[in-house]
Structure 1
Amino acid sequence: MFFAGKDSEYFSNRVFFTSSIIQVISIYNIFSKSHESYSLEKMFYLFSLFFFGVAPLLQSYDNSKLWYYRPLLEEEYFFTNILVIFIIILYKIIYNFFRKTIQRPRLERKLNSFKVPDKVTFINSLLLIALSLLAFFIVFASNNFNIVPMLVRGGELVADAMRDFEVDESPTKWLIVNNFVRPISIMCFLYYGVTKEKNKVVFAILGILALFTCFPSAVPRFAAAAMYIPVLLILFSFVRKKNVFSLIFVGGLLFLFPFLNIFRNFGDENTEKFKLDFKMFTEAHFDSYQNFALLISNDLITYGKQLLGVFLFWVPRSVWPDKPLGTGAFTAEKLNFFFSNVAANYFAEGYVNFGYIGIILFLIFIAYQTALIDKAYWETERKITGDFFSVLYTVSLGFLFFILRGDMLSSVAYLFGFIFAAIFVYKITTFRIKN
């Protein structure tokens, strides 16, 4: 990365040096604790490696101007890098403190209710298939009973398929179908996946229904990660060994991330062909850092208004017309971006709510939550087989990455939808077992 920017007229020694510190700290924490081959702590540092370490440095070399009228200044990169170094070091300190002090017996009692039977009964197998089939049918109906939008996210093919279909513009209906109904199918598959004894026919049916309901190229990339990271970890034991997951995730972000982007405009003439190109780090996919820096340099603080919108994400705008915009859209509006669907990372959320105190408060909160959940999973003798908490934990890995990237209003809405879908499937199935 040093030689990549050496010939750039925008090369800055202090930006390079501070970015290198971010990368080294992140890489060290990603590949330490090999006995915990995947964890929320590692997801935190995977995010910081790419979104705080790699992307900003390449953007500074390229003098990238994303949504704002000008690129970031050299001193803005340097100041934000110093702030990020403070954040990732303090996160480690607070995380380790909570990891040591949280009581384990209390966690064990809470998690005992997530057991899955060794063998699912015939009735419950039919119930899982019925739930998955219902989810498929609802998503299929919402796409005009056309298979193309079920396989491809956007572009000319989808436009042609939906041309004569009157789309329901209700955001509430869209949220329910995509955030709650759609994940039900893959949750049924994962529930069956953690059972010890599996019927191959049932397993295949649930897998096919989950694949077509939640096809990777038809959903947002973060949703694909949240859905398929659990599939990888639960079904393939080698992924759970040492640093295999971290290496797969890095490879997925470098190769799969740009590949899935093709399907946002599939069939368009100007669609770029799939290729590994570090240029992607200088483009809008990685705008989170720049928007964070611009929020700080323009001193945009709402004193908790944005957080109120996150807590009340479930209230429709038709009921609450003054409901706050997502922080990305808020930033775009205040700084006159020419595009509003932009990212605002987790720490930008902290700053926009309460300034630098907000960053610290948000940091303490996420350090506590990740330490709590990591300890619950790794220090209470959890096993993949027979434990539905493993599904919830592996789903949270992808969602942490999305929450860190931002913004919180959309990520929290998706997170709760997935959690409700998982718990719905679990409760329905276990209810039948007990009765």
Structure 2
Amino acid sequence: MKKNIGLITSNKMFLLLAFFTAVFAYTNNGERYNSIILTVFLLTGLGALYGLFLSIDKKAISINKTYCLFHYFFFSLAPIIQFKNSSTFHFKGYIEDAAYLKSGQVVLISLVTYLWVYKWLYSIKIKYSNPLSSNNNSQSFKTINHKKLIVFSYLLAFISIVFYLYLLKFKWDLLIYRPFSYDLKNNTNLGLVGYSLLLIVRLIPFIVLMNYILLGFKKNKYAFGLLVFVLFSCFPTALSRGILAIIYIPLVVIYMPILSKKNYYIGMYCLGILVVFPLFNMVRDLRTVGLRVSYKLFDTGHFDAFQNFTLLLREKIITNGEQLLTSVLFFVQENTWPNKPPGTGHLMGEKLYFEYLNISMPWIGEGYANFGYFGVFAFIFIIAIVNVFLDRCKLKNKWINFYFYMFLGYEFYLLRGDLWSASKIFVSFTLAIVLVSVTNSLWMNISKGKIKG
């Protein structure tokens, strides 16, 4: 006990943010006030801060820190201000105190469960190597024909960009501005097949660059050239915030060694949530509504995860696995599966007559929608296992290391949801990895004369 108290009092950042969160929670500055409910949100925030600064995870960069950051912003700070202001985002209604209290308690218990499971699994004595270590490359410098690797990397990146432009019907403005999904579905070469290939194809330059980096080559002119290809196919303003985080957080972490120092990674993430993402959202609206300078932040639909989970619990929407099935089989078209269930957020929106149906649903909400409270804690155990595996990854394989980098941003997207969209992104990245890996091996074999081309 004394050890834990000493650890807390010695961590100035924890104490500072804990004090800020308490003041933020208990300041009576809204339409309503309930000290019990606000205490539950405060305890969730303190639990998240514990996971960030005081848990068994002592690394500066980890998937666990991404998990805790999400809970601090989306399940503590955001619901505090939304509760005080009686905010609703997608429907005309009112969320009762009892509903807030119930969902807040479930979130708090699930976070404590996650922290306990993560600590238990992490404490198991195993030999592991840090995924960020350059010694973990699947191939050493000496066994790589660098010239052949460069030719392959540039050629594949170039071909993928040309094909991507073909799928977009050479609409060059779409390389800068993010289009709406329904526009792409109706205006893509090769129809629905082309639309399905879009994300995979545009990811290839990024996967090629990561392949090059994870083989040990990151500080030379060729890596910079591959980065130009990435910017061409995945320019930040043309991406959703989820894809933006998945692609650019790994690159920022790799090329900014200072983030491996204590708390710098946490600071970068906070800057992204509070400044970068709102800025890119304004850029996204530039074409349709012009320049709008607005900074409501937590009191907007972008932070609707807790509210959506609250409504899901209030309405007791449980599908006994249907939502998991539709997420796993996301690629099956409606004409093949006439009664295919929609995503969980969409399903809830239909039941509550939302004006807007492209609704997110957090990870624990997906668990509840599938199997009730059992599903909530089953999903918590699953994500804790994945996080520990990636944070303590032993496998000396560059693609396993890639998933570590990918999850730094992807986990945030997964936690916010919904699962249908997250499954699509995960499979797209995996297919892009397989394509790059297979073509790379094929290229090397052909160049060695093992396969006659």
User: What TM-score range do you get, normalising by the shorter chain?
Assistant: 0.7 to 0.9
Map of 1:258 onto structure 2 = 278
> Contact 1:34/1:243 (CA < 8 Å) preserved in 2?
no
Q: Deviations over 1:65-99 (max 9, x none)?
A: 11133132122112211111100000111122222
Pairing partner for 1:407 from 403, 414, 418: 418
Letter in 2 for 1:22: T
What is the rounded CA distance, in whole Å, between the counterparts of 2:209 and 2:382 in structure 1?
A: 32
Relative distance call for 1:419 and 1:241 in structure 2 (3 A) is farther
Deviation (angstroms), 1:170: 4.2
Mapping 1:202-217, distance limit 5 Å:
202-217=222-237
Deviation (angstroms), 1:13: 1.2
Letter in 2 for 1:15: I
Letter in 2 for 1:361: A
Q: Structure 1 stretches of 5 or more lacking a match?
A: none
> Contact 2:30/2:84 (CA < 8 Å) preserved in 1?
yes
In structure 2, the residue corresponding to 1:421 is in which secondary structure?
helix
Relative distance call for 1:196 and 1:107 in structure 2 (3 A) is closer
Letter in 2 for 1:177: L
Relative distance call for 1:198 and 1:218 in structure 2 (3 A) is closer
Deviation (angstroms), 1:121: 2.1
Mapping 1:280-359, distance limit 5 Å:
280-359=297-376
Deviation (angstroms), 1:20: 1.1
Deviation (angstroms), 1:247: 0.8
Q: Percent identity?
A: 25
Deviation (angstroms), 1:34: 7.1
Q: Deviations over 1:178-234 (max 9, x none)?
A: 1x1111111111222234356844223211111110111101101010001110122
Which has the higher mean CA deviation after the structures are superposed, 139-148 or 292-301? 139-148
Letter in 1 for 2:238: A
Letter in 2 for 1:140: L
Map of 1:121 onto structure 2 = 146
Q: Deviations over 1:255-294 (max 9, x none)?
A: 0110111233223345422x6x3x2211111111111111
What is the rounded CA distance, in whole Å, between the counterparts of 1:184 and 1:260 in structure 2?
A: 23
> Contact 2:188/2:194 (CA < 8 Å) preserved in 1?
no
What is the rounded CA distance, in whole Å, between the counterparts of 1:199 and 1:26 in structure 2?
A: 35
1:142 paired to 2:153? no
Pairing partner for 2:205 from 162, 185, 206: 185
Relative distance call for 1:8 and 1:199 in structure 2 (3 A) is closer
1:81 paired to 2:127? no
In structure 1, the residue corresponding to 2:287 is in which secondary structure?
coil
Map of 1:10 onto structure 2 = 32
Q: Deviations over 1:286-345 (max 9, x none)?
A: 111111111111111111111111222222222212222110111111111111001111
Map of 2:118 onto structure 1 = 95
Q: What RMSD in Å do the two structures reach over aligned CA positions?
A: 2.9
Letter in 1 for 2:237: S
TM-score of the superposed pair, with normalisation by structure 2: 0.84
What is the rounded CA distance, in whole Å, between the counterparts of 1:428 and 1:255 in structure 2?
A: 39
Map of 2:82 onto structure 1 = 59
Higher relative contact order (CA 8 A, sep 6+): 1
TM-score of the superposed pair, with normalisation by structure 1: 0.88
Map of 1:234 onto structure 2 = 254
